[in-house]
Amino acid sequence: MNLLFIFIISFLSIETPGINGYQPGDKATDFSLKSITGKMVSMADYKDARGFIVVFTCNHCPFAVMYQDRINELAKKYTPKGYVLLAVNPNDPAVQPADSYAFMQERAKEKGFVFPYLFDEGQKVYPQYGATKTPHAFLLDRNLIVKYIGAIDDNAEDASLAKEKYLENAIMSLENGTDPVPSITKAIGCSIKVKKS
């Protein structure tokens, strides 16, 4: 009986498709998430935004760490142009203690983050977006239509060697009123940490 049960469970886990998230062209849902300052942040708070850069990222993942300065630079560069960068930590700190709210505050202070660093408490937001890893970037236009999903650029290890700056190119396309090409890219990253059911 037990064996049969295990067999069924393992079968289910094989056949279950991945999380369905957004595709370019979909309308993203706004959220209300707690920032490291304690303030709740929503996209609706930014009435004059030209677009939103939502980056699922975290403290612990080496890939995310390699991009944290680049994300900060993006925020510095595009905030004056009307883009709002929101970083969201989707991990459950019970699984990865380094991704706790307190450590988020510490990291933001240490790195001088100029963007809101938000905590997806209860892990409700990342599945809606279909984020599967950190870092995982989403570019939305002012009406929250998804324009780009994927990597920030094509060289995690060395920013200066990046040939394709996917996310910045997508912002450029949005500025020019065209759809980004590519609109989806893939990169290796850390899986989002979720408690096992």
Under the binding rule (CB under 8 A), the answer on residue 181 touching other proteins is: no
Options 133, 139, 147, 148; binder of other proteins; rule CB under 8 A: 133
Kindly report the backbone phi and psi dihedral angles of residue 16, in degrees, each rounded to the nearest multiple of 5, phi listed first: -65, 125
Positive or negative: CA dihedral 131, 137, 139, 144: positive
Euclidean distance between CA atoms 133 and 98, whole angstroms: 16
Cα dihedral across residues 24, 87, 134, 182: positive or negative: positive
Instruction: Return d(Cα 153, Cα 164) in angstroms, integer.
Output: 6
Minimum distance, C-beta of residue 99 to other proteins, in the bound complex (Å): 12
**Quick one: which segment of 77-85, 86-94, 110-118, 186-194 binds other proteins (CB under 8 A)?**
186-194
Of 46-54, 69-77, 83-91, 128-136: span binding other proteins (CB under 8 A): 128-136
The contact mask relative to other proteins for 19-58 (x = CB under 8 A, - = no) is ----------------------------------------
Cα 67 versus chain centre, distance: 12
d(CA 86, CA 133): 16
Q: What is the residue-wise DSSP string for 51-81?
A: EEEEEE--SS-HHHHHHHHHHHHHHHHHTTT
Which of 74, 84, 156, 170 is in the footprint of other proteins by CB under 8 A? Answer: 156
CB of 47 to other proteins, least distance (A): 33
Judged by CB under 8 A, the residue of 41, 151, 170, 171 near other proteins is 151
Contacts with other proteins, residue ranges (CB under 8 A) = 6-7, 10-11, 13-14, 17-18, 62, 96, 132-133, 136, 150-151, 154-157, 164, 166, 182, 185-192
